[in-house]
C-alpha cells in the first residue's frame, strides 16, 4: 500500500497541485500556447462557456512533440522495470491527490454526476497501478527460448530466443465522454446475429462495418438501420464523420494517418445527438441519394478547423 512516507521514492515528478488552468499545451516538459483554432468548454447543464480558452496545436507544434517523444523513447526503454512501475504509481498517486479538483472540473465540462466521475478517477488510478504491477512482474515480455537441436536432420536447429520489446512512441486519441461499442462481423452468421447486434446498438455507440464486394446486399439493409440507431459508423475502416484534423494527417514523423480521407469525430459532431454523416469510402451504389453527389443536404463538416457546408 502506498503511504505518504514513500512518495519521495516514486520518481522525480514534482508534487501535484491544483494549478489554475491556462489552456496551454504540454510540448515535452514545456507549457506553450497553441497556435491553432481556439475552442472553449461549455457546461452542458447551463450552456455557460467555461474559461480558459484552449488553442489547438499547430502542425509545427505536433511535429515538435513527435520529435521529443522520439528522443525520449530510447532512454525510457532502457529504464529498469521497477523504476517504470514506480513512475506509473506516482502518476496514480498524483491523480488521487487531485481527485476533488478533477471531479469538479469534469462535472462542469460533461454534466456527469459526482459519483460517476469519482468512480472514473478510482478506475483510472486502479488501472495505472495494475499496469505498474504488470511492468514489474515482467511476463508482458513474452520471453521464450527454444533450445538448439544440434542433432536435428537434415540441418541442426540453432538456439532461438524471442521477446516483445517497445518499438516506438504511441499516438493517443482522447476518449469520448460516452461508452463506445464496436460492432462488426464476417459474412457468415451475419443474418443470424444481425438482430442481436441491432438490439444492442444505442444512439451513443459506434458501429464498425467490414464489407467486401460480396456483402453489398447485406450492407444495403444494414446501413439504413445503423444510420437511425448508431452514434457513428465506421465503414471498412473509414470513419464516417465529421471533423478532419490537419495535425492528425500531417503529424510530423509519426502521422496518425497519411490519408486525408480518414477523420476524427469530436464532441461537436454529436452535440445534442445531432449526427452529421459524411460517407467517404462507401461504394457509390450504397450511398443514399441525398449524399450521392457532393453535399447537397449541406451537412455541416469541420475541415482543418473551418466549418464547411460543401
298: left (phi over 0), alpha (psi -120 to 50) or beta: left
Residue 146 lies in a domain: no
Could you give the 3-state DSSP secondary structure of residue 196? helix
Mean pLDDT along residues 179-198:
40
Residue 63 is predicted with a pLDDT of 81
By percentage, how much of the chain surpasses pLDDT 90? Answer: 14
Number of independent structural domains in the chain: 2
Looking at the structure, tell me whether residues 22 and 103 fall in a common domain.
yes
Residue 17 is predicted with a pLDDT of 56
**Average predicted confidence (pLDDT) for the chain:** 66
273: left (phi over 0), alpha (psi -120 to 50) or beta: left
Looking at the structure, tell me whether residues 194 and 298 fall in a common domain.
yes
Residue 250 lies in a domain: yes
Peptide bond into 5 cis (omega under 30): no
Residue 209 is predicted with a pLDDT of 59
Residue 10 is predicted with a pLDDT of 38
Residue 148 lies in a domain: no
The domain containing residue 292 runs over which residues? 182-308
Check which CATH number belongs to the domain holding 131 and give it. 3.40.605.10
210 touches 222 (CB < 8 A): no
pTM score: 0.52
205-253 pLDDT per residue, tens: 455 555 555 555 666 666 666 655 555 555 555 444 433 333 333 333 3
Helices 99-110 and 114-137, axial angle in degrees (round to 10): 130
The C-alpha atoms of residue 67 and residue 168 are separated, in whole angstroms, by 11
66 touches 169 (CB < 8 A): yes
Residue 163 lies in a domain: no
Which element (helix H / strand E) includes 146? strand 144-146
- Of 109, 141, 173, the residue that ends a domain is 141
Looking at the structure, tell me whether residues 47 and 110 fall in a common domain.
yes
Looking at the structure, tell me whether residues 12 and 137 fall in a common domain.
yes
Looking at the structure, tell me whether residues 134 and 19 fall in a common domain.
yes
Amino acid at each position: 500500500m502506498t503511504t505518504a512516507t514513500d512518495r519521495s521514492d516514486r520518481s522525480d515528478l514534482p508534487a501535484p497541485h491544483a494549478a489554475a488552468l491556462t489552456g496551454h499545451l504540454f510540448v515535452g516538459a514545456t507549457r506553450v500556447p497553441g497556435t491553432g483554432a481556439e475552442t472553449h468548454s461549455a457546461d452542458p447543464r447551463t450552456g455557460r462557456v467555461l474559461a480558459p480558452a484552449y488553442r489547438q496545436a499547430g502542425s509545427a507544434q505536433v511535429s515538435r512533440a513527435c520529435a521529443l517523444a522520439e528522443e525520449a523513447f530510447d532512454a525510457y526503454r532502457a529504464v529498469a522495470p521497477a523504476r517504470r512501475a514506480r513512475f506509473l504509481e506516482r502518476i496514480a498517486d498524483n491523480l488521487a491527490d487531485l481527485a476533488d479538483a478533477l471531479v469538479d472540473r469534469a462535472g462542469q465540462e460533461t454534466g456527469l454526476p459526482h459519483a460517476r466521475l469519482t468512480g472514473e478517477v478510482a478506475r483510472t488510478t486502479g488501472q495505472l497501478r495494475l499496469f505498474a504491477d504488470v511492468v514489474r512482474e515482467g511476463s508482458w515480455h513474452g520471453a521464450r527460448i527454444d533450445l538448439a537441436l544440434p542433432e536435428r536432420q537434415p540441418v541442426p536447429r540453432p538456439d532461438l530466443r524471442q521477446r516483445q520489446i517497445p518499438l516506438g512512441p504511441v499516438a493517443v486519441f482522447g476518449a469520448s465522454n460516452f461508452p463506445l461499442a464496436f460492432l462488426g462481423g464476417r459474412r457468415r452468421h451475419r443474418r443470424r446475429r444481425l438482430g442481436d447486434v441491432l438490439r444492442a446498438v444505442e444512439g451513443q455507440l459506434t458501429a464498425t462495418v467490414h464489407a467486401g464486394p460480396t456483402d453489398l446486399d447485406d450492407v444495403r439493409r444494414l446501413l439504413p438501420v445503423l444510420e437511425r440507431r448508431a452514434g457513428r459508423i465506421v465503414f471498412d475502416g473509414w470513419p464516417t464523420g465529421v471533423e478532419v484534423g490537419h495535425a492528425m494527417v500531417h503529424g510530423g514523423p509519426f502521422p496518425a494517418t497519411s490519408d486525408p480521407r480518414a477523420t476524427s469525430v469530436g464532441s461537436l459532431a454529436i452535440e445534442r445527438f445531432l449526427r452529421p454523416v459524411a460517407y467517404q469510402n462507401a461504394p457509390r451504389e450504397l450511398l443514399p441519394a441525398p449524399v450521392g453527389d457532393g453535399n447537397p443536404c449541406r451537412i455541416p463538416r469541420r475541415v482543418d478547423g473551418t466549418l464547411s457546408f460543401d
